[in-house]
Chain A
Amino acid sequence: AQKVTQAQTEISVVEKEDVTLDCVYETRDTTYYLFWYKQPPSGELVFLIRRNSFDEQNEISGRYSWNFQKSTSSFNFTITASQVVDSAVYFCALRGMDTGRRALTFGSGTRLQVQP
């Protein structure tokens, strides 16, 4: 069975603060992919990043960075110098590859509020 845990239900920060969203996963698959999606107030789900289980290099994209640590089964997401437009619900998701099941298992999401 697969499971994704986002323990932080809601985070509130002031603009320009850095914020880290935590994601912990469980899987028995040896090969898997991890994802982050953003759901702004408008409701759509926006793909942010994909990372495979063999690539533990951290990734940076502008103000966004991701820290993948297989040893702790975590895939955390940091927003540097947060902006009001970052306010959204962020979902971490997992896709195991060993069984061929293509669907994503989502965490419960973290609601980020960035105050001006």
Chain B
Amino acid sequence: DAGVIQSPRHEVTEMGQEVTLRCKPISGHNSLFWYRQTMMRGLELLIYFNNNVPIDDSGMPEDRFSAKMPNASFSTLKIQPSEPRDSAVYFCASVSEGTYEQYFGPGTRLTVT
């Protein structure tokens, strides 16, 4: 299996622009998570889906952030408009219930100037 796939790996954008991060979970995994990693706050959950349905979005910072999972093999995290404080590494992870082991993608390093 290819593992969790994220794109792009790096994104540099200007403040105010829309940013879309993409994730393809491991085939057969039914839960998908978006995490953000920063020096100040460490690794924190943004949102997670179970069977394509958003279950907990309490970590989403504000209305500028939105996430979708239109099918079992694809999810997006969108920031509109982006701000410099959104600069971070965004990880996507998936898990197969029964094992509880979350496998992470390589992350997207976002820089907003």
Contacts and interface: CB of A to CB of B under 8 A. Distances in A.
A104 B56 CA distance: 12
A28 interface: no
Question: Main secondary structure on chain B at its contact with chain A?
Answer: strand
Interface in B1-48: 31, 33, 42-45, 48
Contacts, number: 48
Interface of B: 31, 33, 42-45, 48, 50, 55-56, 89, 91, 93, 95, 99-107, 109
A42 B100 CA distance: 25
Contacts of B101: 35, 47, 50
A46 to B, nearest CB: 8
Q: Which of A44, A46, A91 has the most CB of B within 10 A?
A: A44
Contact of B56 (A33, A103, A109): A103
Contact of B104 (A44, A95, A107, A108): A44
A45 interface: yes
A50 B98 CA distance: 12
